[in-house]
Amino acid sequence: MKRNIVIAAVTAAALIGGGTATALATSGEDDPGTTSRQADVKGASSDDRDDDADGRGDDRDDDRADTDRAASVKVTAADALAAALKKAPGTAVSAELDDEDDGGDGERAAWEVDVLSGDGTWHSVRIDPASGKVLGSEKDDEDDTDEVRAVLKGTSVDAAEAARAAAGHGTVTGVELDEDGHYGDGEVAWEVETRSSGDDERDWRVDPRTGKVTADRSHDSRSDDDGSDDTGSDDD
């Protein structure tokens, strides 16, 4: 209504003056388009906040699920490695507590152990974390056999010993050989992942020659917050 009154007044003035009048009419009313855009922006921001909250909730749920899974494990990483080597003799290079299809509608935890046999064949062996029984085994094709063998020649601490060395920091949920070094220095190490009852997941590096355990700061940014020293600790 206001906009129509202003336009009518300008038109009358132009007719009376006998000339051409140019006017810029503004209204105190909000532009419907602007109001709609502002509402869209507010709605998007609210959706983003909801998505962030949902994401944090999902992360917390995942952490609790991982902690519960680790707490239910009766077969340690070292025991799982030993069981896998009985099934597929060779050198164990990694072990990870993972989920597998239970054949029904869900999943169950299982140790997944990678073994490099003497003839260069890779084996992936699944171990039941409750009983230590072999759930299955299959051959894998890997193209880094020579590199891994070269690295293993210079080690005196195996995967099981590395897992036991880091076990004092929590339940070991994974161990693997890092032949390249995450610090860019090419330093070989066993990488061990642990989880504590406080949903705290930590990563450790175990020297393959001495068995010394240090905090892996290339993965764990939280290590600065819990009072751990920079050099880690020895557990043996």
Mind listing the pLDDT tens digit for each residue in 54-94?
555 544 545 555 555 666 689 999 999 999 999 999 999 99
Judged against a pLDDT cut of 80, whether residue 44 lies above it is answered with no
**How many separate domains does the chain show?**
1
Query: Has residue 127 been placed in a domain?
Result: yes
Helices (H), the chain: 2-17, 32-71, 77-87, 145-153, 159-166
Radius of gyration, CA atoms only, the chain:
32
Is residue 68 assigned to a domain?
no
Alpha carbon 143 to chain centroid distance?
25
- Output the six-digit token pair for 187: 């330093």
Q: Evaluate if residue 11 carries a pLDDT over 60.
A: no
Taking each continuous run of H as one helix and of E as one strand, the counts in the chain are 5, 8
Q: What is the pLDDT of residues 197-220, one digit of tens each?
A: 766 889 999 999 999 999 987 654
Least confident segment among 87-91, 103-107, 150-154, 174-178? 103-107
The domain spanning residue 204 has which CATH number?
3.10.450.40
198 found inside a domain: yes
Q: Is 30 helix (H, G, I), strand (E, B) or coil?
A: coil
Q: Would residue 41 count as lying in a domain?
A: no
- Name the average pLDDT for the chain: 74
On whether residue 99 sits in a domain, the answer given is yes
Domain residue limits at 111:
77-225
On whether residue 44 sits in a domain, the answer given is: no
In a domain, 85, yes or no: yes
Q: How far from each other are the two terminal CA atoms of the chain, in whole angstroms?
A: 86
How does pLDDT run across 116-127, given as a tens digit for each residue?
Answer: 999 999 999 999
Q: Output the six-digit token pair for 87.
A: 């099934």
Q: Structure tokens of 136?
A: 């299955």
Are the C-beta atoms of 179 and 189 separated by less than 8 Å?
no
Q: Is residue 9 part of a domain?
A: no
How sure is the predictor about 36, in pLDDT bands with cuts at 50, 70 and 90?
low
Q: Tell me the three state secondary structure of residue 213.
A: strand
Beta bridge partners of 212: none
Considering only residues 223 and 109, tell me which one the structure prediction assigns the higher pLDDT: 109
Kindly report the pTM of this predicted structure: 0.64
Q: Evaluate whether 162 touches 206 at the Cβ level (below 8 Å).
A: yes
Q: Which residue, 91, 69, 86, 85, is CA-closest to 193?
A: 69
